[in-house]
Amino acid sequence: MKANILLNVAVVSQKNGRRHGLVKSLVVVNHVVQYLVISTGGLFSKAQIFKPENIIDVNYKRLIIASEKDIIKIEGKKVKTYLEEAFPLMDYPVVDKNGEAFGHIVNATIEDGSFIISEYEISRSFFDDIDHGFAIIPAAELDYRDQVLHYQKEMFDLRFEKQGTGIANKLLGAK
């Protein structure tokens, strides 16, 4: 499944039908989705997270978990202990082996059941996205260090054979 399916959907308990808020972020550690973060909308509310294993069903409108007991409510001070060595998935910066920033994550492919990320979709620039579409990088070629994803090659070594064509190609038939 694509990661964007899990974002901005209402979290609902199957047991009582209670709506808990919207999923605002996916927390990733070692290319595995560890937690989904719920935005409750309250100014003084505690952070609410839950593990992806608790998902019973998901579509573009709602995500169903078994019970509200699956939600972990944590104070702001303790968030860091839960999310050590983790990064939020979307819009995260990517640098090449020389430390040059060249893009950010716009989506990822997540394996059903294990929640392992097999590949990331990287936006390099607006014009590059129009011409070629997003670059697709296997998760094995990215390392998380110093709060940045590091691509093990140079930014110009991106392969375009797996990605969809850009907007110009799709709409205008330009090559």
Domain range enclosing 35: 3-87
Q: Tell me the pTM.
A: 0.78
| pLDDT score of 135 | 82
CATH code (residue 147) = 3.90.50.10
Nearest to 122 by CA among 87, 153, 156, 91: 91
Q: Which DSSP letter does residue 44 get?
A: S
Same-domain status, 99 and 164: yes
Same-domain status, 83 and 35: yes
Same-domain status, 47 and 77: yes
Same-domain status, 67 and 95: no
Same-domain status, 44 and 67: yes
Residue stretches of the chain with pLDDT short of 70 = 40-45, 76-85, 125-133, 156-175
CATH code (residue 70) = 2.30.30.240
For the chain, what is the domain count?
Answer: 2
Q: Which of 52, 87, 122 is the last residue of a domain?
A: 87
Same-domain status, 11 and 71: yes
C-alpha count within 13 angstroms, C-beta hemisphere, residue 134: 14
Same-domain status, 10 and 79: yes
Dump strand ranges (E) for 111-157: 117-123, 135-138, 142-145, 148-151
| pLDDT score of 68 | 86
| pLDDT score of 127 | 63
Same-domain status, 81 and 108: no
Q: Which residue type does 38 have?
A: I
| pLDDT score of 154 | 78
| pLDDT score of 161 | 43
| pLDDT score of 82 | 62
Nearest to 72 by CA among 54, 46, 41, 50: 50
